Structure formats: structure tokens, C-alpha cells
Structure 1
Amino acid sequence: MTEILPESFFYQPTLELAKALLGCQLVKHTDHGIASGYIVETEAYRGPADQAAHSYNNRRTKRTEVMFGKPGRAYTHRMHTHCLINVVSGEIEMPESVLIRAVEPAEGIDLMYERRGQMPAKNLTNGPGKLTKALGISMEDYGLPMFEPPIYIAKGYTPENISTGPRIGIDNTGEAKDYPWRFWVTDNLYVSRKR
């Protein structure tokens, strides 16, 4: 039986949460079935002072509103044609989040292939847009608590080693592009980028 992590799990500093999520299971229930994966890569975004964050300078919009609330909620947003999933973190009115960048498939792998097509297994969920499509995560999940179905974080395993480095795809963000706020399970096959 999958053990869902309680709401209290999400009440930790953003950088700590980004590391604590590694090895946990991201689970999504849909009408087509359940799909899940072990989180193997995350990126932390620290809100008002982080030029790479959507909430930089306390930017409060319809899109970022959920980040100003309680931690442990789903912040889904579109990047090009892809839906990405973040876990809201930080204190209320301190809009921070953790982007889930990659997962290692666990449950519902056949369903993931139906959604993504045939490809090498390592390419199925090794990116933030790939994993949401594979798991059936959509913009409709915006604002949902991530500690109860249909979308939640459950216990998984504790990684032996965690690597850290700069975040990806944020080149025009001043010094923020160099912050070592990307975390990944060292040598995991499903990480989107190894360095």
C-alpha cells in the first residue's frame, strides 16, 4: 500500500524540500488508471528574490496565485506546449516552488507508453514536459493538494547520493542562472541532464 506523505512534509525550506522530494513517488489517478514515478530530479525556485522564478519581485498573477498560499499544492503551468508541475513551497505569502524535472517510471508503465508513444524507456519521463504527459498530469491539476488523490507525493526510497548544479533553461536571469538549485539522484538513468 502506497503511503501518502502528510501535508506537514511540505512545511520545510524550499531547498530542503527540493532534496527531500528525491526518491519520493509522484502519483496521479485518472479515469484511465494510476501512473507513478520516483522523483529523480528537481529544481528549487525561491520566489521574490529569484530572477528565474515566476514570482520574482512578488509578481502576483492568475498563473502564480497558488504560490502565495499554503505549501503542498500543485502549481501547474504551460511552457511552450507542455504542462509542467511544481510543488508549492515556502511560507504563505512567500511564493516559492519546486519544479519536478524527471521521474523514474514505477506504476502504470503501459499507460505511459500509450500517452507518449514507443521510445527507449529512458526517454519516457526524463524531462518536465515528458513526465506530466506520461503520468496524465494537466493544467486541471492546478491548485490541488498534493497529499491526497488524484495527485500526491508518496513514500519511496532514500537516494544514496544526490548531485547538485545550476538549473536548466533560465539563461536570461542574471546571477540566478548560476545558483546550484537543481538536485538529482546521482547516476540515475532518467535524469534529464547529467551535469
Structure 2
Amino acid sequence: MEIVQHKFFHQKTLDLAKSLIGKLLVKETDEGTCAGWIVETEAYIGPGDRAAHSFGNRRTARTEVMFGPPGYVYTYVMHTHCLVNVVSGREGDPEAVLIRAVEPCEGVDLMFERRGKGKKRKELTSGPGKLTKAMGIVKEDYGRSLSEPPLYIAEGREPGEVVSGPRIGIGNSGEARDYPWRFFEKNNEFVSR
């Protein structure tokens, strides 16, 4: 598996959100390695993005990593689910890309163990909280470099048609809820909606 070079993350946030589609998200744990092709992302461009945690340059212990260089992990917990983001933008510009869904390709049995044997395969990683649970990505991965194990992004496969639309679950964010900053592989069954 060829891990992407750190320079890959040095692109504009919207470009990065789109170019992550088809890349491989990998997590190594003591139980084993899980990997999936990224099929859905969402870009968050604070300080002017009402849906971003860093809106208005809000700098807290939680958002601190977003003020650093791109290519690092931003994890946070929402409604008991850990969510994983790629820090993007230039240092000092707190931006990030949420990884919303992946298509499993390695460690599928382990994913079933973590998510529940009764799940359908397409339910394993078809949402941001589902994929972190299935892959063993935890809040403590916060701040890791995405260019080295145990949590990293590798070269993947050429995706199908990539389309964009409004982001999901941000209804209280004014005009930002309509920005077409969600990117996904068209017709992939693992896309969250």
C-alpha cells in the first residue's frame, strides 16, 4: 500500500475533498487492519462557514489541530459517535474535510465484529459514525499525521463519476446548509444517503 505523500494534502479544501474520493483510508489496530475506499466527503471552510466548528476563527482545545498544517487528523465526538476529518487549508486557516463514507476492502470480518454480525455489508461504513466504529478509529487518533501508520490515507483506485451536493445534517447553519460541498461517488451503495 502506497501511503500518500504529505504534499497531497496541500491543496485547496474543496479540491482536496474531491480528490480524496477513491483514496484508501487505513487503520491499523492490535485486532487487525481495516481499509476502505473513500466514497463520500464534506468540506468545511471556517472561519466564514457557519457549519464549521472553526466558524468565526473559533479556537478551542477541540479545534486547535485545524489551525495547524494540513494532513492531520481532526476527530471529535457527536451524539456518541466519533467522526474523522482531514485537516486542510494553509496553516492558520482552520479548514477540514469530513470523511462521510468508505467502501470496505480489507478487514471486513473485523468490521462486522465491531458493528454487529446482523448488519448488511452496505451498512458497515455508510456514514461517518459507522465507518469510524467499523474501522476502530477513535477520538485518541486526534492530531496524528495521515501520512504514517496507524491511521493513514493511501493511493486507492480510480473512482466512478464524482458528483457534489449540499452537506448533510447542518440545518441550523443558515445559507451554509446549501453549499454544494459534499462530494461522492455516484451510485456507490456505501454513500450515506
State the TM-score bracket (shorter-chain normalisation): over 0.9
For 1:173, the aligned partner's letter is: S
Q: Deviations over 1:65-113 (max 9, x none)?
A: 0000010000000011000000000000000000000000010000001
SS of equivalent residue, structure 2 residue 76: strand
What amino acid maps onto 1:48 in structure 2?
P
The within-5 A match list for 1:31-50 is: 31-50=30-49
Count of residue pairs the alignment pairs up: 192
Runs of 4+ residues over 6 Å off in structure 1: none
**Corresponding residue number in structure 2 for 1:62:** 61
Question: One-letter code of the match for 1:44?
Answer: A
For 1:149 and 1:111, how far apart are their aligned partners in 2? 18
Distance 2:160 2:121 in 1: 22
| Alignment-derived partner of residue 123 in structure 2 | 123
- The one-letter code matched in structure 1 to 2:34 is A
Q: Distance in 1 between matches of 2:34 and 2:121?
A: 15
Q: Match of 2:2, as an amino acid?
A: E
Q: What is the CA-CA distance between 1:157 and the residue it aligns to?
A: 1.1
Q: CA deviation at 1:160?
A: 2.7
Q: Which residue of 2 aligns with 1:174?
A: 174
Provide the C-alpha distance between the structure 2 equivalents of 1:142 and 1:162, rounded to a whole number of angstroms.
28
Q: Per-residue deviation at 1:186?
A: 0.5
Query: Matches of 2:120 and 2:55 in 1, distance apart?
Result: 37
Aligned counterparts of 1:57 and 1:142: Cα–Cα separation in 2 = 22
Displacement of 1:171 in angstroms is 0.3
Amino acid across the alignment from 1:10: F
Q: Secondary structure at the match of 1:111?
A: helix
The CA deviation at 1:114 is 0.6
Per the alignment, in what secondary structure is the counterpart of residue 47 of structure 2? helix
The AA in structure 2 aligned to 1:8 is K
Q: Percent identity, please.
A: 64
Aligned counterparts of 2:46 and 2:179: Cα–Cα separation in 1: 13
Distance 1:69 1:109 in 2: 33
In 1: Cα distance, 2:179 partner to 2:160 partner: 23
State the match for 1:25 in structure 2: 24
SS in structure 2 of the partner of residue 93 of structure 1 = coil
For 1:28 and 1:175, locate their aligned partners in 2 and report how far apart those are by CA, in whole Å. Answer: 35
Gaps of 5+ in 1: none
